[in-house]
Amino acid sequence: MLRLIYTALLYVAAPLAFAVLLWRGMRDPLYRDRRGERFGFSRTKLDASIWVHAVSVGEVQAAAALIRDLQRRFPQSPLIVTTATPTGAQRVRALFPQGVHHAYLPYDLPGAVRRFLERIRPRIAVILETEVWPNLYRECGRRQIPIVLASARLSEKSVRRFRRIAGLFRDALNQGLVIGAQTRSDADRFIVVGAAPARTHVTGNIKFDLETPVEARARGEALRTGQFPGRFVWVAGSTHEGEEDVILEAHRGLLAARADSLLILVPRHPNRFERVRQWLSGQQVTFACRSRGEAVTPDTQILLADTLGELLMLYAAADVAFVGGSLVPIGGHNLLEPAALARPILTGPQNFNAPDIARLMLESGAALQVESAPGLAQALADLAANPGKRSQMGQVALAMLESNRGALARVMALVEETLHRRAQ
Give the catalytic positions in this structure: 59
Whether the CA torsion 260, 266, 272, 274 is positive or negative: it is: positive
Identify which of 166, 34, 155 has the alpha carbon closest to the alpha carbon of residue 104. Answer: 34
Whether the CA torsion 9, 14, 20, 23 is positive or negative: it is: negative
Amino acid, single-letter form, for residue 196: A
**How far, rounded to the nearest angstrom, does the alpha carbon of residue 17 sit from its chain's CA centroid?**
22
Check if the beta carbon of residue 111 is closer than 8 Å to that of residue 40. yes
Identify which of 69, 70, 64 has the alpha carbon closest to the alpha carbon of residue 50. Answer: 70
Rounded to whole angstroms, how far apart are CA atoms 144 and 174? 12
Amino acid, single-letter form, for residue 163: R
Range list of H helices, 42-155: 57-73, 86-95, 110-120, 134-142
Rounded to whole angstroms, how far apart are CA atoms 265 and 270? 13
Element (H, E) at 49: strand 49-53
Whether the CA torsion 178, 179, 184, 186 is positive or negative: it is: negative
Phi, psi of 107 (to 5 degrees): -60, 155
CA of 184: how far to CAs of 169, 179, 187, 221, in Å? 20, 12, 5, 40
What's the distance, Cα to Cα, between the start and end of the chain in Å? 35
Rounded to whole angstroms, how far apart are CA atoms 37 and 115? 10
- Residues sharing a CB contact under 8 Å with residue 244, sequence separation 6 or more, in sequence order: 236, 265, 267, 276, 279
E strand residue ranges, 214-361? 233-239, 262-267, 287-289, 302-304, 320-323, 345-347
